[in-house]
Structure 1
Amino acid sequence: MAFEVSYDLENEQQFWDAEYLQTDYSIAKCIFRMLEGELFAKNKQYVRRQIIYCLLQEDDNPTLHMVAAFLLYDGRNSRDDEVFEMMHSEGTFARLVELVQKESVQEETSLHQLLLQLLYESSRIQRLTYDDLMAVNDAFILYLLGIIEGASDDADDPYHYPVIRVLLVLNEQYLVASTTRYSDGRAGMTNRVIKAISTHGMTYKTFGCNLILLLNRESETSLQLLILKVLYLLFGNPSTAEYFYTNDLHVLVDVILRNLIDLPHDSAAANALRHTYLRVLHPILLHSQISRPPHYKRDELLRLLRLLVSSGNHFAPVDETTVRLVNRCTSVEWLQPAAAESPTNSNGNRQSPVEQAAMGQKEYARRALGMTVQGGNESSTSVLEIAGHTAQPGVQTPSMTKQAQ
């Protein structure tokens, strides 16, 4: 049955004085009726562009609310990213950054959240330009961190998720920008997210707590990757390596152990995600509080790393990237066995039990497939690999637990 509404009006002024679309549900229903209408179906490009122009030019909250809702729902409902790409080409990023900080917008919670969601969705589909990123200053990042800190320590708070996702996607954009050399001589881009935490981390601890909570519950690969990219940079930076509370760090290690165990071995997507987890695990082992005694779950970590490179657990040889990354993790000093128990490698250094297993795995691969595992500059490779590892929104992470259900 079609949605119908009727009003009894005595005069024209009554119509103009009445209040319409007062709930998020009614606004969403109105927008979807517009998206399903004949006018939009026949003139999509024109209508979208006019709506984007409204976003760029209008300042009154009711108009901004309808415009933001239209672009967000249209973008999410489309099978392609045409809406967000059009927004990008029209330069809406700086405008959204401006609107999110506007006092009158902040006073209207539902509009503020819509704009944060639109900022996130339109920023994750392609690289931001140098000028786009220049629209973000330190004050904006601290403002977002302040929202998280001021709301509560509950990750289910309606403000937390939209704000955290904006910070995550900005960090990813900075990470990608760090791998780019500008031909016109422009200076490299400072990652303002990491900078803010390095200078104000003690003030904004809730962001870190909620990162771990979200990683623990997140089943969408693209969002897991966004979280892992922040963790990689935080633990790889001496000024932020101990940003997390020790108890929270222990929870993070538990989450990483569980997720690594749960990833299947017969999936390319799972392999790529496993590599990213291992790249994040290494700086955690090397630089965080668990690098000091008592070392948290040392035996469990070694058992897991052995498992990942043991040929007896798989139908085919373990891929060389996993072997290399596991060896990198086990090279951390506090994971090494006592000197009397350990043979040496070709460099005369102690060889860990996991490295011994990995060497056997390499030999098996060489004999079976003619493969040779090459060394390389792991640190620069890891940055490029992590920066380039993405996934389509909505794609769920492969899980052996779910497969067994």
Structure 2
Amino acid sequence: MAFEVSYNLENEQQFWDELDDIVSTPCQEHEMIDNALRSYLNVTTNYKSEYLQTDYSVAKCVFRLIEGELFKPHKEYVRRQIIYCLLQEDDNPTLHVVAAFLLYDGRNSGNDVTFEMMHSEGVFPRLVELVQMASVHEDTRLHQMLLELMYESSRIQRLNWEDFSAVDDAFVLYLLGIIEGVSDDADDPYHYPVIRVLLVLNEQYLVASTNRHANGRAGITNRVLKALSTHGMTYKTFGCNLILLLNRESETSLQLLILKALYLLFGNPQTADYFYTNDLHVLVDVVLRNLIDLPYDSGAASALRHTYLRVLYPILTNSQISKPPHYKRDEVFRLLHLLGSSGNHFAPVDETTQRLVQRCTSVHWLQPRATDSNGALETTGGPTMMQLPDEYTTGDGQKELARRTLGMSVQHGGESSTSVFLVAAHTEKPGVQTPSRGKETAQ
């Protein structure tokens, strides 16, 4: 850099005072802004190991810049300069500060302008490159920051052909390998940035494929699905974590990302039995619980309910539970009856829910069973619903209904191309929480 200042700061207070002086100085010309940004990066990177040792201190440092007079009058210019720095620099401390700025500014701006600018400047291939660099991988906090930046920016902007070209099979296997290699602690924060990147990549492939299909062009290869199709036995931890995330996640957009991944996994013959049977049973429990927990009078809940039902169908038809002894057959059938019957606790029922419920109940092993003249079990044809006692349809409170119908407590916590497109089209803004009947009752 042409302009650098040597600093000799003796304590942490001097460090923060110096940062405040830099970011609060008004600058009118681009050259003055550049010099101030160099000073900011010089101070933060030189003293990062001393005063920026935690995620909180890095965030504090970034928001000093975001809220200062250096940035506010010149947001577009400063953002672009920071993006250019990310594209060109290889020094870990510098990468950490600029990645943190783009991440927090992107989340803070409220209009996606930062992530849009990153997209227009071609940052995604650079992130793919950085995430795989050995020097970056060894710096866990930096690596996690870059993964979070990749996730947040990619779920806002659609990837283009150059972006997809940067993702090869080796990159996807690299991410899956990280998940296998991290600790067994389900609360390890290192799990989730990697998993979220794989989920958003899958989403991007799904949207790109359906759009190309709708335009009469060949779809793009989903490298996440391809990796699990060919190496699924090696990377089972990813599937376990999907179930854990779905069980505890309250953000609607992330639930949808998980459901779309499950939809493709169970709809693909090579991955339909990807999950261990015990894990599959847990997944079925989670799906049933979440379906019964969604309120009926919410538009967001209806869209999410439709996605759960679209995912449930390939689970019922293609997974291990399609074979005897058919895990929770009666409970699944009863819930579908509740969801599809007018006048029950979930009424009124929209046409899409009725259609999706009918498709699920048409699965052969869910048909009502009767005995023939010799006393043997036989299956009646057609998707006719069995008649349930009134106690299943009148509902005496959400938790009691769940307990009596499914034997569980409510906790907070073959498809046509047209249906694939509907799954891909279900989106929700980041941060929006999933409606919950259990939460409404508690209030």
Q: Report the TM-score range of the alignment, normalised by the length of the smaller protein.
A: 0.7 to 0.9
Quote the residue 1:173 is aligned against.
204
- What is the one-letter code of the residue matched to 2:417? S
**Structural mapping, 1:3-402, within 5 Å:** 5-6=13-14, 20-24=50-54, 25-181=56-212, 187-313=218-344, 317-338=348-369, 350-354=381-385, 379-402=416-439
Checking the alignment, whether the CA contact within 8 Å between 1:153 and 1:210 is kept in structure 2 is: no
Instruction: Give, in whole Å, the separation in 2 of the partners of 1:124 and 1:152.
Output: 27
3-state secondary structure, aligned to 1:64: helix
Structure 1 runs not aligned, ≥5 long? 8-14, 342-348, 358-376
Checking the alignment, whether the CA contact within 8 Å between 2:159 and 2:204 is kept in structure 1 is: yes
Checking the alignment, whether the CA contact within 8 Å between 2:296 and 2:347 is kept in structure 1 is: no
What is the root-mean-square deviation of aligned Cα atoms in Å? 2.3
Cα shift readout 1:343-370 (whole Å, capped 9, x = no counterpart): xxxxxx823333899xxxxxxxxxxxxx
Deviation at residue 66 of structure 1 after TM alignment: 0.8
Change (3 A) 1:277 1:200: same
Instruction: Give, in whole Å, the separation in 2 of the partners of 1:333 and 1:326.
Output: 14
Deviation at residue 316 of structure 1 after TM alignment: 5.2
Checking the alignment, whether the CA contact within 8 Å between 1:155 and 1:161 is kept in structure 2 is: no
Quote the residue 1:369 is aligned against.
none
Deviation at residue 156 of structure 1 after TM alignment: 1.2
Which stretch shows the higher mean deviation, 84-93 or 305-314?
A: 305-314
Instruction: Give, in whole Å, the separation in 1 of the partners of 2:113 and 2:419.
Output: 31
Quote the residue 2:405 is aligned against.
none
Checking the alignment, whether the CA contact within 8 Å between 1:327 and 1:354 is kept in structure 2 is: no
Checking the alignment, whether the CA contact within 8 Å between 2:106 and 2:115 is kept in structure 1 is: yes
TM-score normalised per structure 1: 0.87
Deviation at residue 388 of structure 1 after TM alignment: 0.4
Checking the alignment, whether the CA contact within 8 Å between 1:155 and 1:214 is kept in structure 2 is: no
3-state secondary structure, aligned to 1:180: helix
What is the percentage of aligned positions where both structures have the same residue?
Answer: 75
Instruction: Give, in whole Å, the separation in 2 of the partners of 1:309 and 1:180.
Output: 31
Deviation at residue 340 of structure 1 after TM alignment: 6.6
Deviation at residue 188 of structure 1 after TM alignment: 2.7
3-state secondary structure, aligned to 2:385: helix
Deviation at residue 378 of structure 1 after TM alignment: 5.8
Deviation at residue 29 of structure 1 after TM alignment: 1.1
Checking the alignment, whether the CA contact within 8 Å between 2:301 and 2:435 is kept in structure 1 is: yes
Checking the alignment, whether the CA contact within 8 Å between 2:144 and 2:190 is kept in structure 1 is: yes
Deviation at residue 339 of structure 1 after TM alignment: 6.4
Deviation at residue 152 of structure 1 after TM alignment: 2.5
Structure 2 runs not aligned, ≥5 long? 1-11, 16-42, 373-379, 389-413
